Structure 1
Amino acid sequence: MSILTIILSIILPPLAVFLNKGLGKDFLINLILTLIFWLPGVIHALYVNNK
């Protein structure tokens, strides 16, 4: 995981997931989590990008 991916995961979690996985279920899950509350979106983005 690069520094850019970590920074994007913290600032814009859906963008980080989109750049890594593309449009799919991971992106939609992250978008919903980010819209509900920012922190679960960050945790999910870090998890997906680290996996």
Structure 2
Amino acid sequence: MSFWRVILAIICPPLAVIGKGCGSILIVFILWICGWVPGVIAALIILNNPER
């Protein structure tokens, strides 16, 4: 997880997970619409998971 991705996850979570797939973007976007904090938390969790 790079520093710039973390900053982007705090500012605009859907943009931070753009390389993780369409499902991740959709989940983070829906949570971000419901509230800023859930979107940021979901983006940071998705970014913290290692690639398979």
Task: Check whether TM > 0.5.
Answer: yes
d(CA) in 1 for partners of 2:46 and 2:40? 10
CA RMSD of aligned residues (A): 0.8
1:4-43 correspondence to structure 2 within 5 Å: 4-18=4-18, 20-22=19-21, 24-43=22-41
TM-score in terms of structure 1 length: 0.89
Structure 2 unpaired stretches of 5+: none
Q: How many residues align?
A: 49
Q: Secondary structure at the match of 1:29?
A: helix
Structure 1 unpaired stretches of 5+: none
d(CA) in 2 for partners of 1:25 and 1:6? 19
The one-letter amino acid paired with 1:21 is K
TM-score in terms of structure 2 length: 0.88
The one-letter amino acid paired with 2:42 is H
Report sequence identity in percent. Answer: 51
